[in-house]
Structure 1
Amino acid sequence: MPYAMIRHLRRSVFFSKQLRKESTMTNLTLEEYDFQPPFTQWSKVIKEAEKIVGYPTSFMNLRWLLSDEFANLALHLRKIVGSNHPIMKTAKSVLYNEHNNLQPWGLIILLLSKAVSSTTSLDSNTVAEQQRMLAELTEMIRTGHYIHRGLLNIPQKERENASESLFANKIAILIGDYLLVTANGMLARLKNQDLSYLISTALRDLSEGEFFGPRDEQNMPLPSKPNRLDVDDFRISCETLPLATKDVLGSPVKEWTLRTLYSGGTLFGRACEGAVYLAGKSVEKQKEAFLFGCHLCLSWQAASDLKKFSVNNNKPYSLVSAPVLFGIDHSPQLFDRLQNIRNINQINFTQLREDILKTDAINHTKLLCTEHADKARNYVELFGNNESIQTIKRLIRS
């Protein structure tokens, strides 16, 4: 192994241990979009799927983690280990993956790519490499955006006494920018204008999502006043136009769906669509791949929301997660506690959780999870019945 790689590995291992040791100090409540099934069998299914695609997806993150640029940024990040800045929690999730924190996006894209690609074509190796780059850059965009969302909004009058937080903000910006620029460079090297257009529409959705709906002073999302008259579902369009926002706020299903799509759902959908496009499939198949990706993300997010409301789980949860939105829709008086909140850390999350569990929110969230899982399964079955598709279906079931 080259000396430079050994040196970077040592840095990453040391930094990962430091993050693990200090992780309990980071207790800020964050808006989290996991897009992964929170089950203990997940790592086993991941390993089996990686054998099929012949490409350990952990190498996707490893490639840029071992770069000189990222290693230098990691050295600066070590200076704020032990602080209460959200970037520490994000870095821990990137560098120290627990068994239920594995990132499945790239693997799903590779499995779908293998399912639709022809092995007899003369340029099959080129297509496979392009699909692999697409899977990798999608993971990088997702991670870079997640890091950027961990910035703290420090009031002007408090900045003189917040040098550590200001420094952490700068590091978060640099790391997020590095990942996003690297991902866009990879996209440019593919030299495919149509694919670049697809991914750029997802980047637009990520950006617009940061300004959607009510927010607190840290730009953390707050639920809207419930509108119990609106019970319609949110229709996911395959068009590349901006997502429809009319009459969405206040409707639990619509608001939760749109927020989830904004926060990465369409990015994964467009990546799946791009993988099928690179394989030379029809426009109809590309749209089916997009809808598959969107519904799979929605199913995983609903499952993650449910886990945070399971028995004896006291982990932080988002105020725009499905159980919260269903809970305040069922009992509008719960919304009164959330009005005029300047910072979500002022909320008694434990009491709010107990009150939400007294409503029918959990049952509605379970139905939401099952509904999107069934739709994802129906769409992926349109791509055949080969080993890759069967594995994707197993991932959906798990």
Structure 2
Amino acid sequence: MASRKLFSTRSVLCLKQSTRRISLSSYKCEEAVASQRDLRLSWDYAVEDAIKHVGYQSPFLKLGYMTTDKNVNWNKNIENLKNSGHPMYDTAKILLANGKANVNQMWGIVILLTSKLAGYPATNLWKEDDFDRNSGILKSQRKLAENVEFMTTGDDFHRDGVLNMQHFHKSGMNLDNDNLLIYGNKMAILAGDMLLGYASMEISKIRNYKVTALVAAFARDFAESTFIGDRDIQNNPLPSNPLEKLEVQKANPEIFEEVSSDQIDIMLPFKLHDVMGTAENEWKLRHTLGGASRLGKSCKAALILGKHDEEKQKEAYFIGKHMYLSYRAAKDLNIFRSDVLPASGKFSLISAPLLFHLEEDPSLYDEIRKGLESIDNINFAKIHEAVRNGPGMGKTRDLLSKNSLIAYTLLHKFPNSDCRRILENLMFSLES
């Protein structure tokens, strides 16, 4: 399958030392969008600014009405799981605390900002009723953003809220139907199905087959992300064994190079060959399938609805994709910036600093190997201490700079505007 890089990786790497200088010097003109102090905007402040600009109310306000229906009694059912140890309880609290969404809301905002950033070139094709009066954004684009958020949260329920009971006695088949573990699984599956079904129905009402095809493509990508690589019995992802890759690489050094996930035809499945076991390639593939594809394809779909040409659609796709990858790299860095473990005592074992560390120190994989049955058997404190003082941190900062630089470059292909300023501030908050 043909593939290409949108930008030369070597060029980006050469610029990585001066990424922040490039980012800052671009704004020293009269139209500068942010001062040095503004560049330290927190993520939350930047999100708040974005919400005000696009007038975005989380669709979870709608979900609030759905879940407070006396026939559903959502809150009571969730509280029944409080002391059960079922993952659905914590998942629901994180995703739907007080009727608000988690970071999933951010992606709906990015879709709307990208829509408004690009504008509406074919003004003669629109009627006044096609636009939201308060924000100046197409109603169809708003519907898309809201329901992408619903779909993302539905997938999160299925991924994080279901307890795999295969290792139980008789795989849990001997448990009563009213057992809380069975009950929690039913809630997680039905909650995810409800959100995915509702969102799919609403997106179909947009009546644009290209948009529907893009939504189907990112749903396929996400499904694929939950199967690739090694996993424990609860389907928690584990990094690939770096030693196996090193042996193959020693035998065939010429066939290994950075694999680009910036493909010519983004509707095709992503290339998996020669990826797993190579830190950056594996990280990019896992998180492109797991989220960057969704945001990128949604931004492209928004510009399809705005009647933009293919080139602008492609730029929107890569803005969304590389913003997501920048966010993931920043999130991975934050895990190891503190000398204290997260409150849960665990963290993602496919985070960028850990994958880069394994590439330099494969011996740490002996500890990860203990989690092949369950990640509960892994000494997370040992891994955390090794990684935060290892070479993976610097390489992850380079990874963040590389993806941020691509997103900045593409944003500057669009006219200077409040939308561009807000998207830039979101990116700056990740690097601060």
Alignment check: 8 A CA contact 2:115 2:306 kept: yes
In the other structure, the counterpart of 2:151 is 141
Separation in 2, partners of 1:360, 1:113: 39
Task: List runs of 5+ in structure 2 lacking aligned partners.
Answer: 1-39, 132-137, 250-255
Q: Which moved more, 1:351-360 or 1:244-253?
A: 351-360
Q: Does the Cα contact within 8 Å between 1:307 and 1:313 map onto a contact in 2?
A: no
- Identity among equivalent positions (%) equals 32
- Map of 1:78 onto structure 2: 79
Alpha-carbon distance in structure 1 between the residues aligned to 2:392 and 2:413:
32
Alpha-carbon deviation of 1:94?
A: 1.8
Residue 364 of structure 1 is matched in structure 2 by 395
Deviations 1:286-333 (A, max 9, x none): 111111111110000010011111123311211111111111111011
Correspondent of 1:264 among 291, 295, 304: 291
Q: 1:232 aligns with which of 258, 274, 285?
A: 258
Tell me the number of residue pairs that the alignment of Structure 1 and Structure 2 aligns.
358
> 2:367 corresponds to which letter in structure 1?
R
Do the aligned partners of 2:81 and 2:184 also contact (CA within 8 Å) in 1? Answer: yes
1:350 aligns with 2:381: yes
Q: How does 1:1-12 map to 2 (within 5 A)?
A: none
1:324-349 superposed Cα distances (whole Å, 9 cap, x missing partner): 11111110111122226210110000
1:85: how far off?
A: 1.9
8 A Cα contact 1:118 1:124, kept in partner: no
Contact 1:306 1:365 survives alignment (8 Å): yes
Match of 1:215 among 228, 231, 248: 231
AA of the residue aligned to 2:43: W
1:222–1:68 Cα change, 3 Å: closer
Q: Which residue of 2 aligns with 1:57?
A: 57
Where does residue 65 of structure 2 map in the other structure?
A: 66
Per the TM alignment, residue 92 of structure 1 is displaced from its structure 2 partner at its CA by 1.5
With over 3 angstroms needed to count, the CA separation of the structure-2 counterparts of 1:68 and 1:301, relative to structure 1, is: closer
Match of 1:329 in 2: 359
SS where residue 148 of structure 1 aligns? helix
Q: CA deviation at 1:87?
A: 1.6
Give the partner amino acid of 1:392.
L
TM-aligned CA deviation for residue 238 of structure 1: 4.7
- Tell me the CA shift for residue 124 of structure 1: 5.7
Post-superposition CA distance 1:1-42 (Å, at most 9, x none): xxxxxxxxxxxxxxxxxxxxxxxxxxxxxxxxxxxxxx9822
Deviations 1:58-103 (A, max 9, x none): 3x21112222587534432221123322222221222227999543
Between 373-382 and 334-343, report the one with greater CA deviation: 334-343
Q: In structure 2, how many angstroms separate the alpha carbons of the residues matched to 1:280 and 1:383?
A: 16
Deviations 1:341-366 (A, max 9, x none): 21011000001111222320111111
Give distance in 2, aligned partners of 1:272 and 1:313.
37
Structure 1 residues 356 and 43, CA gap change in structure 2 (3 angstroms):
closer
SS of alignment partner, residue 82 of structure 1: coil
> What's 1:179 paired with?
195
2: CA distance, partners of 1:98 / 1:251 = 40
Tell me: CA distance 1:173–1:238, structure 2 relative to 1, closer, same or farther (3 Å).
farther
| Distance 1:234-1:165 versus aligned 2 partners, 3 A rule | farther
Contact 1:43 1:99 in 2 (8 A): no
Aligned partner (choices 217, 220, 245) of residue 272 of structure 2 = 245
Separation of aligned partners in 1, 2:212 and 2:365: 41
Instruction: Return the alpha-carbon distance in structure 2 between the equivalents of residues 194 and 116 of structure 1.
Output: 18
Is residue 2:120 matched to residue 1:118? yes
Is the deviation greater in 104-113 or in 158-167?
Answer: 158-167
Question: Corresponding residue for 2:33?
Answer: none
Q: Which moved more, 1:380-389 or 1:206-215?
A: 380-389
**2:341 and 2:384 in contact (8 A); partners too:** no
Q: Given residue 336 of structure 2, which amino acid in structure 1 is its aligned partner? A: F
Q: Is the 8 A contact 2:61 2:99 kept in 1?
A: no
Q: Is the 8 A contact 1:147 1:172 kept in 2?
A: yes
The one-letter code sitting in structure 2 at the alignment partner of 1:84 is G
CA deviation after TM superposition for structure 1 residue 218, in Å: 1.0
Secondary structure, aligned partner of 1:234: coil
Mean CA deviation greater in 307-316 or 360-369: 307-316
> Over alpha carbons, which structure has the higher Rg?
2
Q: Cα RMSD over matched residues?
A: 2.3
Kindly tell me: are residues 154 and 237 of structure 1, through their superposed partners in 2, closer, same or farther at Cα, counting changes over 3 Å?
same
Q: Contact 2:79/2:89 (CA < 8 Å) preserved in 1?
A: no
Deviates more, 1:121-130 or 1:326-335: 121-130
- Where in structure 1 are there 5+ consecutive unaligned residues? 1-38
SS at match of 2:234: coil
* TM-score normalised according to structure 1 size: 0.84
Native 8 Å contact 2:367 2:379 kept in 1: no
Secondary structure at the counterpart of residue 183 of structure 1: helix
> Using a 3 Å threshold, how does the CA distance of structure 1 residues 220 and 56 change in structure 2: closer, same or farther?
same
